[in-house]
Structure 1
Amino acid sequence: MKKHQGFIYIATTLDTKSAEIFYVSEIIKNAGLSVRTVDLTTQPTQLEKNADVSADTIANYHPLGAKAVFCGDRGKAIEAMAQAFSLYLAAQTDVAAILGLGGSGGTALITPAMQILPVGIPKLMVSTMASGDISGYIGASDISMMYSVTDVSGLNIISRKVLKNAANQIAGAVWFNQDDEDTTTLKPAIALTMFGVTTSCVQQLTAKLEDEFDCLVFHATGSGGKAMEKLIDSNLLHSVLDITTTEVCDFLFGGVLACDEDRFGAIARTQTPCVLSCGALDMVNFGRPATVPEQYRDRQFYHHNSQVTLMRTTPEENQQMGRWIAQKLNRCDGEIRFIIPTAGFSALDIEGAPFWDPLADQAFIDALTENLITTAKRQLILSPYHVNSAEFSEQVIQLHQDILNK
């Protein structure tokens, strides 16, 4: 029989879900796996049976101590316990998987801690909230959500079936999770960011790199960039070709595919080697034409399809983006190369195409050049080619190889 290291952590609030946690715990133990039950109850209570890790233990991980959790205000208590549980879980070195059980409050308590765990550790949340918009619970992590069907409130003919499936799923994820051959036998993983209008560039890059590298392509839709940076923070990427940085447009100007304030932060924290460019910085993304904010009604648009409306960025907006990106990259001490395709940033930004606007592009180039502090490791390269040209992809390949040689 195979031996498995670590514990499957099962987290819930025992004051309301005691029967459920011990029910799934027994199923997992019967599969031959080790379990650690965790109580996230946010108010003092007398329990007939205690978890392996008490609510007091978790609450004491809060920076302000247990009093911040056991404060008598339910909303503040949930927020504080979520923070404490995240800090507790981050400190553990024996997490083989995590299973959460909860309603709206429990889901808000448990999933932030799940998000801080590295990608690849199995994470399953049984929740009453799983049939709605779950993006806030998932973040950029690989959390699986299972709808509880009935409320997570006692054992019955339905909840037993759902919880048994959940227990068997998380047990199976651990049981069949072989040690990856990856670190020694698989190709090093590199990330590439792509949008529809930079597809040609990224396809050329992957075609030339895939024999040597495991190419992971991320769709630059906000969540795509966050997922990539989650992998960077988890030290799962060898290097990065962040060609399509269009999420910055949406973040700064109210588009629907936005990054967040931490874009490029993972590169700074980990010093992962990175070649960047300004792919699709010529556009802000909105939904149907009716969803475009009123202040933009007189702007230049391209209707990609019935659900996607693209707005051309102005010289002033491009200046702002150049300054913002420069400030972010100035914090990066690893090997960084930012290459600008001066003949156009996207398939729509080329002579004869709808978004061709050399003056707007030049505003970005000037702002980035003026604000980026270049060093031996942080360099800016101006390319005479278009982002989707074969010549540009060759330059990117060479820059990537140059930083790896260092």
Structure 2
Amino acid sequence: MTTVLLLAALDTKGADAAFIQTRIREHGLNVTLVDTGVLGQPSLTATISRDQVAAAGGTTIADLVSAQDRGQAVAIMAKGAAIEVERLIREDGAVGVFGIGGGAGTSVAAAAMRNLPLGIPKVVLSTVASGDTSAYVGTSDIVMFPSIVDVAGVNRISAITYTRAADAFAGMVNGQKIEPTSAPTRPLIAASMFGVTTPAILHAQQLLENAGYEVVVFHATGVGGRAMESLIRQGLVDAVLDLTTTEVTDDIVGGILSAGPERLTAAAEAGVPQVVSVGATDMANFGPLDTVPPQHRERNLYQHNSENTLMRINPDEARQVGVSIAVRLNHATAPAIILLPSLGVSVMDAAGKGFDDPVARRALEDALAETLENPLVQIKKLNIHINDHSFAELAVTDLIGLLSSSTSTEMP
């Protein structure tokens, strides 16, 4: 039988877990029950005990109980659950993971699923599924299913949500047995886009698709960049058209759309060919106007809408962004090309527009060129704007050239 994993704290969620376990089994699936509880006695016998989970996390249940530190207990059980889930998938062939809980249970279950490969069914039935779930989901494909009522026993309301969540999960698992209508055969290109670089990316996407490539576009809003980096690390991407690196600016200046220090590192480390540019690096992103940090209130600001305020970075910040991009690409293990459009890097950064600043553009370009030391990375300065069709055409030509060289190098 196909095996799936069910994660629950069996001291407080035993009845709930038993109901869901029975429903999943009715779909012809074998359920391995993993106990993530700590304090009370489990009301249901687990396949993987809480002691095993705690041991995988580096301690014992007795030590967690004596410490009386809820935060530490959640962190340890989350770590142990992640290790056990990965082991059960690798060694026992489990093909899906279902978790239940309130805040703590959701945190443990999500941590156990978050780093699993794309496509493995992952469902968390949770009391917090209707709020901001970004901390739980991250860049994964976890499905958060609202419990509606607290996960505190089976009643006429919870029985409905439990049943439907279990049915949805079983459908995801059993659906894996059906072969796709057509398997993807085209090389996959990951591309980054922001509203102010849309013309460049859409034109490049059309050109690449016409040339026989499949293009997946990521919105450079922090989570988009992290998702792109994650898929590159999973080996799902053949090449990267990273024309919109605005998340690096937010990382440097303190904007709200940073993708963190890992941005621009996956392709470099994995040896994936890439064409990179500095799209939308002219701006840092903040929330509503009244949330802009006080030290920036007198800067060149543009209220994009009621929820988003853009700030034009100055030459000193631009230099820092240029250095940061170069430092990240100095680790590239495959050929890469950096395209620098000297007439502007966004819709806002163009002749006569509010963020037009040739001095800041030049500062970024010079700092990048001075810091770059990797002989595998080539810089091309182009006397055009990033959203000109000719820019996209040059970027596509360069990327296809890198892919062709990479393919010919791999030939015996």
Q: Output one character per residue of 1:29-71: Cα deviation in whole Å (capped at 9) or x when no partner.
A: 111122211111124x543531111112222222567777554
Provide the TM-score with structure 2 as the length reference. Answer: 0.92
- Provide the C-alpha distance between the structure 1 equivalents of 2:38 and 2:268, rounded to a whole number of angstroms: 36
Pairs within 5 Å for 1:327-406? 327-375=327-375, 377-405=376-404, 406=406
- Provide the C-alpha distance between the structure 2 equivalents of 1:360 and 1:175, rounded to a whole number of angstroms: 55
Question: Does 1:59 find its partner at 2:58?
Answer: no
Assess if the C-alpha contact under 8 Å between 1:69 and 1:81 holds in 2. no
Question: Does 1:122 find its partner at 2:117?
Answer: no
Question: Does 1:33 find its partner at 2:32?
Answer: no
- Provide the C-alpha distance between the structure 1 equivalents of 2:56 and 2:83, rounded to a whole number of angstroms: 6
The residue that corresponds to 2:268 in the other structure is 268
Give the 3 Å change call, closer, same or farther, for CA 29–141 of structure 1 in structure 2.
same
The residue that corresponds to 1:74 in the other structure is 70
Assess if the C-alpha contact under 8 Å between 1:374 and 1:380 holds in 2. no
The residue that corresponds to 1:193 in the other structure is 192
- Provide the C-alpha distance between the structure 2 equivalents of 1:307 and 1:229, rounded to a whole number of angstroms: 26
Aligned-pair CA distance for 1:242? 0.9
Assess if the C-alpha contact under 8 Å between 1:267 and 1:274 holds in 2. yes
Identity within the alignment, %: 38
Assess if the C-alpha contact under 8 Å between 2:54 and 2:80 holds in 1. yes
Assess if the C-alpha contact under 8 Å between 2:34 and 2:46 holds in 1. yes
The DSSP-based 3-state class of the residue aligned with 2:33 is strand
- Provide the C-alpha distance between the structure 1 equivalents of 2:179 and 2:377, rounded to a whole number of angstroms: 34
Assess if the C-alpha contact under 8 Å between 2:242 and 2:275 holds in 1. yes
- Provide the C-alpha distance between the structure 2 equivalents of 1:180 and 1:233, rounded to a whole number of angstroms: 25
- Provide the C-alpha distance between the structure 1 equivalents of 2:161 and 2:37, rounded to a whole number of angstroms: 23
Aligned-pair CA distance for 1:163? 0.7
- Provide the C-alpha distance between the structure 2 equivalents of 1:120 and 1:185, rounded to a whole number of angstroms: 15
Unaligned stretches of 5+ in structure 2? 407-412
Assess if the C-alpha contact under 8 Å between 1:343 and 1:384 holds in 2. yes
The residue that corresponds to 1:246 in the other structure is 246
Give the 3 Å change call, closer, same or farther, for CA 265–67 of structure 1 in structure 2.
farther
The residue that corresponds to 1:304 in the other structure is 304
Aligned-pair CA distance for 1:226? 1.2
Give the 3 Å change call, closer, same or farther, for CA 404–38 of structure 1 in structure 2.
same
Q: Output one character per residue of 1:111-135: Cα deviation in whole Å (capped at 9) or x when no partner.
A: 1121101121121111111122211
- Provide the C-alpha distance between the structure 1 equivalents of 2:309 and 2:179, rounded to a whole number of angstroms: 42
- Provide the C-alpha distance between the structure 2 equivalents of 1:182 and 1:329, rounded to a whole number of angstroms: 39
The residue that corresponds to 1:234 in the other structure is 234
Question: Does 1:133 find its partner at 2:135?
Answer: no
The residue that corresponds to 1:219 in the other structure is 219
The residue that corresponds to 1:160 in the other structure is 159
The residue that corresponds to 2:4 in the other structure is 8
Assess if the C-alpha contact under 8 Å between 1:346 and 1:388 holds in 2. yes
The residue that corresponds to 2:44 in the other structure is 49
Amino acid at match of 1:224: G
Assess if the C-alpha contact under 8 Å between 2:8 and 2:34 holds in 1. yes
Give the 3 Å change call, closer, same or farther, for CA 67–246 of structure 1 in structure 2.
farther
RMSD: 2.0
Provide the TM-score with structure 1 as the length reference. Answer: 0.93
Question: Does 1:146 find its partner at 2:145?
Answer: yes
Assess if the C-alpha contact under 8 Å between 2:331 and 2:374 holds in 1. no
